[in-house]
Amino acid sequence: MKGGINMISLQLNEGLLEQIYKEKVDEYLKSVEKDSMFMTFNDLVKYLNMSNVSIREFLLWRDDFPKIRLGSKWLFPSKEVAVFMEKYLEEVRAVGGDIHAMKRHKLGR
């Protein structure tokens, strides 16, 4: 320290700052998506990590699966889907943990 002046040197890695910025923007966008009131069918596929065929075969036909129809488009209330899936998981576990067994059990096979 000369003459009572403190010197601070700061070096920034612009590439790292850009990467951090992009990660934070992605996190924010994902949180906004989760807060959406309704999901489209494609959103539901991503959310459940299931194929559209599996969703149609195991969930969509059920009267208790939360859904509404807007013309030819299905919409799914996000919060209700989350609650439903928690209950569905318990039901599947009760029949041995196999979704196929769950469908057979419900159909009385």
CATH of the domain at 65: 1.10.1660
Q: What is the pTM of this model?
A: 0.62
In a domain, 64, yes or no: yes
- Residue 109 is predicted with a pLDDT of 44
- Residue 67 is predicted with a pLDDT of 96
Task: Dump pLDDT digits (tens) for 70-109.
Answer: 999 999 999 999 999 999 999 999 988 888 887 655 655 4
**What percentage of the chain reaches a pLDDT higher than 90?**
47
| Total domains, the chain | 1
- Residue 33 is predicted with a pLDDT of 63
* Residues contacting 95, CB < 8 A, separation 6+: 101, 102, 105
- The torsion region of residue 71 among left (phi > 0), alpha (psi -120 to 50) and beta comes to left
